[in-house]
Amino acid sequence: MTAVTRKQKLESMLAAAPDDQMLRYMLAMELDKESDHEHSLELFRSLMHDAPPYVPAFLMAGQMLARLERIEDARTTYQAGIAEAKIQNNDHAAGEMSGFLQELE
């Protein structure tokens, strides 16, 4: 008998609740762990374009882009994330992304 992977569990739960931001975020994180970066970034981008945008997606996408040495994309992602975090009164996330943005300089 084959064990069900975390990714498979998340995909199954998402089939029942495709708009669940937390499940989509968790799947994006799992895909990143599996080095499926483009698929992970697609999920993060969809979360960034949700109404309301899912602020943690900006942070994680920015970190991934920086790891992949896509520095300009990381910078743009952090800047958009900081702006959105401020709109949502999430000072902690805005501060965290500001710190990562400074590290790119």
Quick one: pLDDT at residue 4?
Answer: 83
Domain 8-104 falls in which CATH fold? 1.25.40
Does residue 48 contact residue 61 with C-beta atoms inside 8 Å? yes
Please report, rounded to a whole number, the percentage of residues in the chain having pLDDT higher than 90. Answer: 95
Domain spans of the chain, in order of start: 8-104
100 pLDDT exceeds 60? Answer: yes
**Residue pLDDT, tens place only, 68-96:** 999 999 999 999 999 999 999 999 999 99
